[in-house]
Structure 1
């Protein structure tokens, strides 16, 4: 019987399909361009630093401890993990839509009809057993199971489930992308902190040098070899550097608390090794080939999953033009008294029905959803291509930056060495009255600024080292 009902419904469905297939809007087709350049430069080496785990890429134990804590405590990351759970539950819900739903129910009631009505007249003349009339009032007891099932002829429900699965996978890749960003942000902030520590030490060292020079200038003034102007200029320079160190201290507090926020804890000192900062040498970077970005970059993988979901959404929207086939069934027991529940087949009830429904007129909403799904799919294509292009440009820029910073740092180091030596020379010349006090002052000022620039260049080197790892797609493994 079930097969007969399904066959009849399918016959009606086929008729409706022939009618509706001719009126489905034509879509604009947009295929994705997955081609990438063969290499970032002349090298075709497929070894990529992105395959390294972050604990192998970073060697500072204090930085590793901070990242490890952040991956457990960072609130934004934990919020994203709950979004992944929501997406997973959406997949479960979509899966349940194309499976039969079965429920169980029970009911009880009582009914009293007027005697001088059709039902009343029938009941008054009907005997259940010999010598017994219909009970008055009449009870109604029922226990049974029911089932409903939409037959997924056009794969509308299965495609909706697959789309939900793609979005779940997309949310997982989104989490991975957040992890890479979180690791990079903590590492960059950590190196900023080390740089500030070195700047503070540099200022304090310069204050000591200026104080020593100030003593010499005062002695020179007492000997009438310089004027009060020289004394005041050196005092002003000392005060300027003393003031500067408090700005640096405030920056240190803010960067420390930025790190504390990222690792999900209240303000506290951040353990670090600042002494070795200037001697830190970034690892050599192996960029691999551009095609590897498609596998390593979580944002590209996320865009790919979103594109797959958008394509499935178009299929789901298209299936809404076609008729849907539903089957419902029920079985149970019904009687006006519990004593009759056991009497079968008299108290047995069952039902079986099938229905076919297809949109016929005023399908504007379905057409609009179909066209919107197509527009969203085209948008997803552009998003994917943009993610690939952005990733390639990021890597090329950072490869160039690393190379230029290495050259710049070598020259800055030589500049600092020359100016450091000139401080000693200018001081000796000043003591022997062979140099003006302004030469001493300017030399010390230039040396201080050169040291600051050297520290800044080192920080940029380490930042490029971090950001290159992120650009290649490392950190989430």
Structure 2
């Protein structure tokens, strides 16, 4: 009879386990790390990579380095990210505590009065603690004990949850690195934009001086009846137009300075910067290395990879919810109706130990939904990881092509500026000898101003391109 009971109990447990462990089917996908062997059809296999250079060695301007140093301390977005790292670190501690035994101390007291016409009340009425001493009524109750609970992690559910928390913590560290690369690049771009605006302002001043001299000559020629009042008014209008342009540049300088100050976490103030001619700067030499190096250099790719690892572990954690869980609880302490009896041993001593095996059997909709969601988030993480790799490759390829095209464009614009600069003297000489119309002089001066502006703009774009490709390659955070 006893064997039959054990046999039925065993069959029931096996049936329970089978029902609990029968999992719903899920869509599966393996992430792809495929990446071309080179950028933009360039078949070079040179592994030299600019991303390995520290930002302090890449940006040698001391004013720019000082700005970046300040931003790395005061930037609010970066400091917010640092707090996210602390939050993730604390999440690891919380997950670790879930698979360790929990031990606590329990103390309490109370009073209980039961009806005399109940089984407990009748027993208490007929019970003597000592000969001639009845059970007190109402009955006090005092207790002090240690209690412990422990879920045995037989399916690695709790350990996998901790590993997922570790992956997310490491992902936040990479997220901080990505914020640093973006911050360094944004400050550097804004800094060189500020230098370009300074240069354009200086060009404007030179052009205003040139046009003012031309206006003075035109006025003298009018007095000599060699030109009409129309020429004088045209030259005056051109001078006024050029003078008005400087206020637009001043506004852009103010906005750029304030943008840098915001990144530095401080209120508006003048930005100390180099007075060097932007055209005299040589863009930094860039080595793109191999596309596969992006996987190790780009913080956002490493962040996406770690988030994917955490998502995979989340699926394992959700899967383990279908399996039976084994828990152990125990307690030991003292309990008595009178404080004077509380520490008497063994009369007031109590202890217990129990184990339970629990598995979901009916109405598993909640854990199924958690399982499906975990898998869907895993697929999202896979697509995000592949998207991040693709985006990184495209960014480098674009900036690499941009550097080459801007270099050729700058050479041609430099020749254009040189040719137009010589044409100013020629037009002035021809105008003074009455062999050229005043409109030719005006148009020549206007063309030179626009060409010099465009040359500065192109040089600034070159500096931006070498900054952006440095960021795209994964440099700037180390």
TM-score range, shorter chain: over 0.9
Write the deviation string for residues 344-389 of structure 1: whole angstroms up to 9, x where unpaired.
1111111111112211122222222212221211121111111111
Count of aligned pairs between the two proteins:
468
Q: Does 1:397 align with 2:398?
A: yes
Superposition deviation, residue 415 in structure 1 = 1.2
Superposition deviation, residue 115 in structure 1 = 4.9
Moved more, 450-459 or 422-431: 422-431
CA distance in 2, matches of 1:73, 1:10: 65
Superposition deviation, residue 461 in structure 1 = 0.4
Superposition deviation, residue 476 in structure 1 = 0.9
Structure 2 residue aligned with 1:87: 88
CA 1:221/1:13 → structure 2, altered by over 3 Å: closer, same or farther? farther
Superposition deviation, residue 55 in structure 1 = 0.7
Superposition deviation, residue 411 in structure 1 = 1.4
Moved more, 428-437 or 118-127: 118-127
Q: Does 1:296 align with 2:297?
A: yes
SS in 2 for 1:288: coil
Which segments of 5 or more consecutive residues in structure 1 lack a partner in the other structure? 1-8
Structure 2 residue aligned with 1:212: 213
Q: Does 1:279 align with 2:243?
A: no
Contact 2:413 / 2:451 at 8 angstroms: preserved in 1? yes
Structure 2 residue aligned with 1:32: 31
Contact 1:103 / 1:146 at 8 angstroms: preserved in 2? yes
CA distance in 1, matches of 2:386, 2:147: 49
Structure 2 residue aligned with 1:162: 163
Superposition deviation, residue 398 in structure 1 = 0.8
Moved more, 427-436 or 200-209: 427-436
Structure 2 residue aligned with 1:354: 355
Contact 2:184 / 2:476 at 8 angstroms: preserved in 1? yes
Structure 1 residue aligned with 2:20: 20
Structure 2 residue aligned with 1:6: none
1:231-270 equivalent positions in 2, closer than 5 A: 231-270=232-271
CA 1:190/1:10 → structure 2, altered by over 3 Å: closer, same or farther? farther
CA 1:168/1:14 → structure 2, altered by over 3 Å: closer, same or farther? farther
1:140-219 equivalent positions in 2, closer than 5 A: 140-219=141-220
Superposition deviation, residue 469 in structure 1 = 0.4
Superposition deviation, residue 156 in structure 1 = 1.2
SS in 2 for 1:354: strand
Contact 1:13 / 1:324 at 8 angstroms: preserved in 2? no
Superposition deviation, residue 17 in structure 1 = 2.6
CA 1:113/1:366 → structure 2, altered by over 3 Å: closer, same or farther? closer
Structure 2 residue aligned with 1:381: 382
Moved more, 230-239 or 399-408: 399-408
Write the deviation string for residues 242-277 of structure 1: whole angstroms up to 9, x where unpaired.
111101101110111011101000010000013332
1:215-234 equivalent positions in 2, closer than 5 A: 215-234=216-235
Which segments of 5 or more consecutive residues in structure 2 lack a partner in the other structure? 1-8
Structure 2 residue aligned with 1:129: 130
SS in 2 for 1:128: strand
Superposition deviation, residue 133 in structure 1 = 3.1
SS in 2 for 1:25: coil
Contact 2:37 / 2:43 at 8 angstroms: preserved in 1? no
Superposition deviation, residue 128 in structure 1 = 2.7
Contact 1:13 / 1:356 at 8 angstroms: preserved in 2? no
CA distance in 2, matches of 1:137, 1:441: 111
Contact 1:12 / 1:356 at 8 angstroms: preserved in 2? no
Q: Does 1:76 align with 2:82?
A: no
Moved more, 182-191 or 428-437: 428-437
RMSD across aligned positions (CA): 1.7
SS in 2 for 1:327: strand
Structure 1 residue aligned with 2:5: none
1:56-75 equivalent positions in 2, closer than 5 A: 56-75=57-76
CA distance in 2, matches of 1:446, 1:131: 121
CA distance in 1, matches of 2:406, 2:383: 34
SS in 1 for 2:25: coil
SS in 1 for 2:23: coil
CA 1:431/1:43 → structure 2, altered by over 3 Å: closer, same or farther? same
Superposition deviation, residue 24 in structure 1 = 1.2
Structure 2 residue aligned with 1:340: 341
Report the TM-score, using the length of structure 1 for normalisation.
0.94
Contact 1:16 / 1:322 at 8 angstroms: preserved in 2? no
